[in-house]
Amino acid sequence: MMTSAPTVAGSLATVVFASATLPMLLKAYRSRDLSSYSTGNLVLANVGNALYAVYVFHLPPGPLWALHAFNVTTTGLMLYWRRRYARRPGERPPELVLVR
């Protein structure tokens, strides 16, 4: 069974995009400081992902499904963390969580 060049390229692109995003997620998780992320931007990213899902899930399963699922998960997490760990005026920053 041969894999087509577009499928290989899509698979590699998915791995590259995920690898580029994981450090941001780990930093956000560990520090709980998401003050540099706009809530509005994260909301729009989640709405865009929901709309894009209508298109993606009408395509045959493949690398695009994996990339979209990763994007949905990461933007959803970032919005959740942004709302959960949002500081109120005068509140101290959260303590750093050490993950071993």
pLDDT tier, 99 (very low <50, low <70, confident <90, very high otherwise): low
8 Å CB contact between 13 and 20:
no
pLDDT tier, 93 (very low <50, low <70, confident <90, very high otherwise): low
**Phi, psi dihedral angles at 33 (to 5 degrees):** -105, 100
Rg of the Cα trace of the chain? 17
The pLDDT, as a whole number, for residue 100 is 64
pTM above 0.85, yes or no: no
Measuring CA to CA, which residue among 16, 10, 23, 2 is closest to residue 74?
A: 23
